[in-house]
Amino acid sequence: MAHLAETYACVPATERGRGILISGDPRSDTITYCNGRSVIIRQLGAPLEPSIYGEHAYQATVARFSPNGEWVATADVSGVIRIWGRYGDRALKNEFRVLSGRIDDLQWSPDGLRIVACGDGKGKSFVRAFMWDSGTNVGEFDGHSRRVLSCAFKPTRPFRIVTCGEDFLVNFYEGPPFKFKLSHREHSNFVNCVRFSPDGSKFITVSSDKKGLIYDGKTGEKIGELPMEDGHKGSIYAGSWSPDSKQVLTVSADKTAKVWEIMEDGCGKLRRTLECPGSGGVDDMLVGCLWQNDFLVIVSLGGTITIFSASDLEKPPVSFSGHMKSITSLVCLLQGGQKVFLSGSYDGIITRWIQGTGYVGKVVRKGSSQIKCLAAVGEEIITSGFDNKVWRIPLNDDQCGDTEPVDVGSQPRGIAVAVQIPELALVSIDSGVVMLRGLKVISEIKLGYAVTTSAISPDGTEAVVGAEDGKLHIYSISGDTLTEEAVLEKHRGTITAICYSPDASMFASADSNREAVVWDRESREVKLKNMLYHTARINCLAWSPDNHLIATGSLDTNVIVYELDKPASNRITIKGAHLGGVYGVAFGDENSLISAGEDACVRVWKIEPQ
């Protein structure tokens, strides 16, 4: 049996030059956001127990809880809205194709019966409001000529809808059935967000022209604005009202968030400027915010979520982060006597995790080039990207030491390190292997066949090289030369992963034809066969520290754990471990398995052998 112990969720997907509109459920202090095809629901008090919904066929863009908190409406880039139950088996209530293009924002009416959505559409339909149970239209929304970025539903009767977008317009509609009432063109750039105050008396629009304007909620007339002298110095991407409707939180590309007091006459007065901790780079631009009860939630372009306390703005904020893009590699290493997991994602970010704590920081390194291969041993990490260079980087907590890259002449396909002699590394390239000792290339060996991956024994005396034709070539290593000892033939597909057991008495190999094999190192006989239970390419392998369990992760989204002294049919299968495929597995100890994948999440599973 395997059960999910912890999930280290991905962060909201962001885009340069655009805001993101996160939302929450005030009754349970929960926020929801989207990344790829996943919709993530996180409790602000318990960030290690997120709930993730992955039923969208296309990239999800926005999610909103219904007023009673029981339903969630989520939208995607194809213009589809799915309405599903938040609890239990998440039953799908309805699915509607609302627009012909991407949906950027949606809101429920306060009675939970209607939904308004806006975004990009072909022709004139950029906004639509409909009944949540039947999908029938409740009004005509004309007046916009370009993509509509945000919409808001007045939370009290009489109902009103306000929309704003890339045509610099703010349009006001009365209803239901809703019809056009008036339009404002006070902004001189994209209007990024519109929000009604919870008591329905006012609404605010914020724009890339650095202005925030306040309007009367019932008539739609402009009544005031946020003062420019204390204002933001960059585009304002989002705004959110306090529960008492007296204050507004705004975030901007100038890397600050500001809390404003809104007077009765509609004018704003700056109460506080909030600085989020960060390095000061582009990734610290703030693109999303939410005021939820006592939490001020702020999202940066790099995906970091920072939470301030509204009642005590002096209190230092809490930050947590993660990956935004799919994770390509996962390694485990000991740092200061405790196990640390490093996950590297496609965009070049390496994140540190500690079991039980979750996110403990990102590894700060000089070049932020993309990462294809990642290995770690002792106090250093070895990485390679999509160029010909291999980096050996000394690691001190989350700070990297200075280092120079080694050019291996071709793009690395894999990196293996001899655990007992950490300076010795074997790099696989298309035409053969390159041996590194420290930062020096000691030999470059052309092997005469297409190499896909390789492994080196912990004592550095033997190497196994996997070929595109499915053969495993075993070499003995002496000094800087490789001598071929044997060729093992059992796989029917390209070799994708090879891994020695911790005690070096066995090694495991896996191929693109979904099969894994465990071999005895001395006799070179098959030790565990018929490991054929995946339905697609196997991407990664891992051994447990006691050499008793072996885990495989595959493109079919599953992780399978085999016990060595039982037949392969006695396996433990974790179905749907990661949406889109599993790209990294590692054991924390004898009965905890860590996995990572395409959905940019890292999960910890407790394994209980039968």
- The stretch 432-451 carries a mean pLDDT of 91
User: Quick check: 47 pLDDT over 90?
Assistant: no
**Cβ neighbours for 281, distance < 8 A, ≥ 6 positions apart:** none
- The stretch 148-152 carries a mean pLDDT of 94
**Cβ neighbours for 89, distance < 8 A, ≥ 6 positions apart:** none
pLDDT in tens, 154-196: 999 889 999 999 999 999 999 788 999 999 999 999 999 999 9
Spatial separation of the C-alpha atoms in residues 518 and 504, rounded to whole Å: 12
Q: Tell me if residue 74 falls in helix, strand or coil.
A: strand
User: Quick check: 398 pLDDT over 70?
Assistant: no
Per the CB < 8 A criterion, the answer to whether 531 and 517 are in contact is yes
> Nearest-CA neighbor of 12 among 423, 328, 303?
303
pLDDT in tens, 352-368: 998 888 888 888 777 66
The answer to whether the Cα torsion of 487, 408, 479, 392 is positive or negative is negative
Spatial separation of the C-alpha atoms in residues 513 and 534, rounded to whole Å: 9
pLDDT of amino acid 367? 66
Per the CB < 8 A criterion, the answer to whether 352 and 331 are in contact is no
pLDDT of amino acid 370? 79
The whole-chain average pLDDT of the chain stands at: 91
User: Quick check: 278 pLDDT over 90?
Assistant: no
Q: Greater confidence, 61 or 333?
A: 61
Residue type, 50: P
Tokens of 522: 């001395």
Q: Provide φ and ψ at 207, rounded to 5°.
A: -145, 165
Q: Tell me if residue 105 falls in helix, strand or coil.
A: strand
> Nearest-CA neighbor of 181 among 155, 204, 154, 206?
154
- pTM (global) more than 0.85: yes
The end-to-end CA distance of the chain, in Å, is 7
Spatial separation of the C-alpha atoms in residues 184 and 203, rounded to whole Å: 13
Q: Please give the angle made by the CA atoms of 415, 419 and 420, to the nearest 5 degrees.
A: 140
> Which DSSP category does 568 fall into?
G
